[in-house]
């Protein structure tokens, strides 16, 4: 409770101390994002992190920190993005939106320049099944829509900043205990966000505008089945694309701490957005007959341009047959010439094979010559190596001979010195024998000295006893003299 009374408190760092419980409300709000720091982040060394409502920065058990106000900012930007999507939906009924859709999507070469709803929603997408009257096609499209929305929901849920739970949010600050300021470790630069916007523009903008275009085109059918299908298909396409954009943005804010992370996360989330097209491609293999029937049903309801193409193909069928007959007559006249040409070609082929055989033979001989040259070079190198080895061995032999001569001289010198050493040893032995005899004499003299020493000691002891007796007699005499006086 003492912290709450410190109105002039400007700096409080209590992180890294393994504290638990609740930090009381502080009287001061702090002047900097690193003013008040505690272990209120996750993961924590305890089951629940420290509760600190007044902290400006929260740290976890991995010494990573982040600003507490980011939770509010994250929710604010999420609301802004959602509001922008709703505002874009409100503009779906304007003629300007239709013009923008046609202009931007005209740059996509895979999308035909037509107002047909089948092309607008995507002929190679499962979402085109919303334009079908088949219940199974609607169920499949709805399932894919739900799966994509669920996947994006997982990313959005894990991207939320909650200090009391373990989410995927990556803390971007490092707060050393010996420094009052925290350091931002995020390496995301404006170029990373530019790449994010570029990828989102290329992959998502056309789908969002096509969804708005379908919603706008639903009005021309009125309250009818085709109007309802066009409206539902447009809402599904726009909603899932807007959700992909939102999930990609918030997940990058939560987890991207470098430009490479941002590009990697963006590509993964955009891959989830292509799930409808990948499933449509798989249906070509899984059930091509059912897919053909469903596509024809959509073309019958919304494919006016497709019917016109079929009629045009039928009208040209007779003309194509006439041209085929004329081509057959020309082929017959050219048949004889072709036979002559084939004969010449056969002779040319034989000559060509003969030339190829000769070239192959020449190549084989050249290869053999090259192999012999290589072998000759190898043998020359080996001969040179043997010559150098023999020279080395000769030098080694000469060195051994000189070493042997030197050893013989040393042996002669040792033999000459050996006689002198033996004579010296003999003299030393004689000296040792004389020394030992002297030692024996000295030992006998020491024995006599010990005997004399013992006799003297006995005499000293006798003199000492006589001295003691003399002293006692003298003391007695002195006592008698003193008594007589």
Residues 132-144 pLDDT 10s: 888 888 888 899 8
Is the bond leading into 43 cis (omega within 30 degrees of zero)? yes
Residue 309, pLDDT score: 38
* Separation of alpha carbons 65 and 184, rounded Å: 9
Residue 290, pLDDT score: 87
170 dihedral zone (left: phi>0; alpha: psi -120 to 50; beta): beta
Beta strands in 143-292 (DSSP E): 173-174, 183-184
Residue located via tokens 């702090």: 30
Residue 31, pLDDT score: 62
* Separation of alpha carbons 216 and 96, rounded Å: 11
**What pTM value is reported for the model?**
0.51
Instruction: State both tokens at 43.
Output: 């993961």
* Separation of alpha carbons 317 and 311, rounded Å: 10
Residue 13: strand pairing partners: 37
Residue 83, pLDDT score: 57
* Separation of alpha carbons 114 and 191, rounded Å: 36
Beta-carbon contacts of 123 under 8 Å, excluding residues fewer than 6 positions away, are: 295
37 SS3 class = strand
Instruction: State both tokens at 382.
Output: 């080996």
Q: How many residues does the chain have?
A: 485
* Separation of alpha carbons 130 and 228, rounded Å: 9
Q: Report phi then psi at 417, rounded to 5.
A: -75, -20
173 SS3 class = strand
Residue 79, pLDDT score: 54
Residue 289, pLDDT score: 86
| Alpha carbon 288 to its chain's center | 41
Question: Closest Cα to residue 144, out of 164, 130, 131?
Answer: 130
Render the burial of 219-245: b for 16+ CB within 10 Å, e for the rest: eebeeeebeebbbbbbbbbbbbbbbbb
Instruction: State both tokens at 329.
Output: 């007559």
Helices (H), 274-316: 275-286, 288-302, 304-315
* Separation of alpha carbons 481 and 469, rounded Å: 18
Residue 333, pLDDT score: 63
Instruction: State both tokens at 453.
Output: 């020493």
CB-CB contact of 131 with 229 (8 Å): yes
CB-CB contact of 85 with 272 (8 Å): no
Residue 326, pLDDT score: 63
Question: Closest Cα to residue 204, out of 99, 90, 104?
Answer: 104
Beta-carbon contacts of 108 under 8 Å, excluding residues fewer than 6 positions away, are: 206
The segments of the chain whose pLDDT lies below 50 read: 72-73, 75, 89, 92-99, 101, 103-104, 106-114, 304-317
* Separation of alpha carbons 184 and 308, rounded Å: 62
CB-CB contact of 125 with 280 (8 Å): yes
Residue 73, pLDDT score: 46
Instruction: State both tokens at 247.
Output: 């999930």
Residue 421, pLDDT score: 84
Q: Burial level of 413, CB count in 10 A (0-12/13-18/19+)?
A: exposed
Angle at 233 between CA 230 and CA 238, to 5 degrees: 120
Q: Report phi then psi at 12, rounded to 5.
A: -145, 105
Residue 6, pLDDT score: 67
CB-CB contact of 301 with 226 (8 Å): yes
């Amino acid at each position: 409770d003492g912290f709450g009374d410190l109105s002039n408190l400007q700096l409080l760092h209590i992180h890294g101390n393994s504290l638990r419980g609740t930090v009381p409300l502080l009287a001061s709000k702090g002047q900097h994002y690193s003013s008040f720091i505690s272990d209120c982040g996750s993961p924590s060394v305890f089951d629940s992190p420290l509760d600190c409502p007044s902290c400006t920065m929260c740290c976890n058990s991995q010494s990573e920190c982040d600003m507490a106000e980011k939770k509010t900012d994250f929710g604010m930007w999420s609301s802004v993005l959602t509001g922008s999507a709703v505002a874009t939906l409100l503009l779906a009924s304007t003629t300007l939106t239709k013009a923008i859709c046609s202009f931007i999507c005209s740059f996509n070469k895979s999308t035909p320049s037509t107002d047909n709803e089948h092309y607008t929603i995507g002929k190679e997408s499962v979402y085109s099944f919303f334009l079908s009257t088949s219940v199974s096609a609607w169920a499949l499209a709805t399932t894919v829509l739900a799966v994509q929305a669920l996947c994006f929901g997982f990313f959005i849920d894990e991207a939320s900043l909650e200090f009391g739970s373990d989410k995927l949010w990556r803390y971007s600050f490092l707060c050393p205990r010996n420094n009052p300021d925290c350091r931002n470790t995020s390496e995301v630069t404006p170029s990373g966000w530019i790449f994010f916007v570029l990828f989102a523009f290329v992959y998502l903008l056309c789908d969002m505008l096509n969804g708005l275009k379908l919603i706008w085109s639903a009005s021309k059918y009125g309250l009818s089945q085709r109007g309802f299908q066009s409206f539902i298909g447009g809402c599904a396409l726009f909603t899932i694309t807007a959700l992909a954009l939102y999930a990609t943005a918030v997940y990058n804010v939560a987890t991207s701490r470098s430009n490479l992370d941002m590009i990697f996360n963006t590509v993964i989330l955009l891959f989830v957005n292509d799930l409808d097209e990948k499933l449509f491609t798989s249906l070509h293999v899984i059930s091509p007959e059912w897919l053909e029937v469903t596509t024809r049903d959509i073309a019958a309801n919304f494919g006016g341009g497709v019917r016109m193409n079929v009629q045009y193909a039928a009208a040209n069928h007779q003309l194509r047959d006439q041209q085929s007959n004329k081509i057959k007559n020309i082929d017959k006249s050219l048949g004889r010439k072709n036979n002559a040409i084939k004969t010449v070609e056969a002779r040319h082929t034989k000559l060509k094979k003969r030339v190829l055989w000769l070239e192959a033979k020449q190549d084989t001989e050249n290869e053999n010559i090259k192999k012999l040259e290589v072998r000759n070079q190898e043998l020359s190198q080996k001969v040179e190596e043997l010559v150098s080895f023999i020279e080395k061995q000769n030098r080694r032999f000469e060195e051994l001979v000189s070493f042997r001569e030197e050893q013989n001289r040393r042996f002669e010198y040792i033999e000459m010195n050996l006689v002198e050493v033996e004579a010296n040893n003999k003299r030393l032995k004689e000296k040792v024998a004389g020394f030992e005899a002297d030692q024996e004499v000295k030992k006998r003299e020491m024995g006599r000295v010990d005997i004399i020493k013992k006799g003297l000691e006995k005499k000293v002891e006798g003199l000492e006893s006589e001295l003691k007796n003399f002293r006692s007699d003298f003391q007695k005499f002195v006592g008698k003299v003193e008594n007589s006086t």
